């Protein structure tokens, strides 16, 4: 069983220095609860200040990786590092880093589905790899915000025996009911835990809804945030995933002769 902490934070628009300081402060509070894994929101270092990415994107993610490495080592926690704007070879991706308790990078995933309503396709390039990774012997998956509207993408990861879906987001308040309903649906249909960290606050163009959430494999909400900055805590029981998948054998009963996934 893991204890997780979701850092539901406001993000300073286009101000990496302030955001790095905020995250470090959140960590000092979260680790007092002796958590195993800490999750950050999407684009936590810059927010959606896409027009200035030439100046504020992290070159090869080096600053972020060193920062997260230092926190993982210092506090002996796994980190699902939300996502950041990573510049590589002149192109910028919306990229998640996952580190284990030793500070080792175990996964780098770039957002596969760019969200046109927030102009991502104008400034970012899409990723082309899956979000699967392993932490402490458990198979997990990580996706970013808009990705959850593509159930076939999530199911592909779950057919690889992932038991937890980590979601990081900057999900706007006007569609926050979609956020909640989609996440509960992804948990039920895939019989997995969904651990989803959203931001709060606003930027010049959007107001964000918070409501970070932890959902168990039955679709029960185990913890849920509100619209304020907070640290949301919860537990993941991997044995429950096995029990649910045995009781209703969805993966065994799939008709792969009729559909590929």
Which residue do the tokens 């090869």 mark? 60
pLDDT of residue 203: 97
Just list the catalytic residues. Answer: 42, 111, 145
Question: Can you give the residue ranges of every domain in the chain?
Answer: 2-247
- Helix spans in 31-96 (H): 53-56, 62-75
176 Cβ partners below 8 Å, 6+ apart? 209, 210, 211
Q: Which CATH class is domain 2-247?
A: alpha beta
- DSSP, collapsed to helix, strand or coil, labels residue 135 as strand
Q: Is the pLDDT of residue 90 over 80?
A: yes
Pairing mode, strands 230-236 and 2-8:
antiparallel
Per residue in 154-208, pLDDT (tens digit) is 999 999 999 999 999 999 999 999 999 999 999 999 999 999 999 999 999 999 9
Cα–Cα distance for residue pair 155/180, rounded to 1 Å: 18
- DSSP, collapsed to helix, strand or coil, labels residue 24 as helix
Give the end-to-end CA distance of the chain in Å, rounded to a whole number.
29
Per residue in 132-158, pLDDT (tens digit) is 999 999 999 999 999 999 999 999 999
> Does the model's pTM come out above 0.95?
yes
């Amino acid at each position: 069983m893991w204890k997780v902490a979701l850092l539901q934070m406001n993000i300073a628009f286009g101000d990496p220095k302030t955001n790095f300081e905020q995250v470090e402060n959140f960590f000092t509070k979260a680790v007092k609860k002796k958590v195993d894994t800490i999750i950050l929101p999407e684009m936590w270092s810059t927010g959606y200040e896409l027009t200035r990415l030439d100046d504020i994107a992290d070159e090869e993610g080096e600053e972020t990786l060193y920062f997260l490495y230092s926190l993982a080592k210092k506090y002996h926690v796994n980190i699902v590092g939300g996502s950041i704007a990573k510049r590589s070879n002149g192109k910028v991706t919306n990229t998640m880093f996952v580190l284990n308790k030793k500070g080792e990078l175990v996964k780098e995933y770039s957002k596969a589905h760019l969200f046109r309503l927030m102009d991502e396709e104008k400034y970012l390039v899409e990723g082309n790899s899956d979000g699967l990774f392993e932490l402490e012997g458990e198979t997990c998956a990580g996706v970013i915000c808009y990705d959850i509207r593509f159930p076939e993408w999530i199911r592909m990861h779950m057919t690889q025996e992932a038991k937890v879906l980590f979601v990081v987001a900057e999900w706007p308040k006007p569609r926050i009911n979609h956020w909640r309903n989609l996440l509960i649906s992804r948990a039920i249909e895939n019989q997995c835990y969904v651990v989803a960290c959203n931001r709060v606050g606003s930027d010049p163009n959007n107001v964000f809804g918070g409501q970070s959430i932890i959902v168990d494999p039955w679709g029960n909400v185990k913890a849920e945030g509100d619209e304020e900055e907070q640290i949301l805590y919860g537990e993941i029981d991997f044995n429950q995933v096995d029990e649910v998948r045995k009781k209703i054998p969805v993966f065994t009963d799939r008709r792969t002769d009729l559909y590929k996934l």
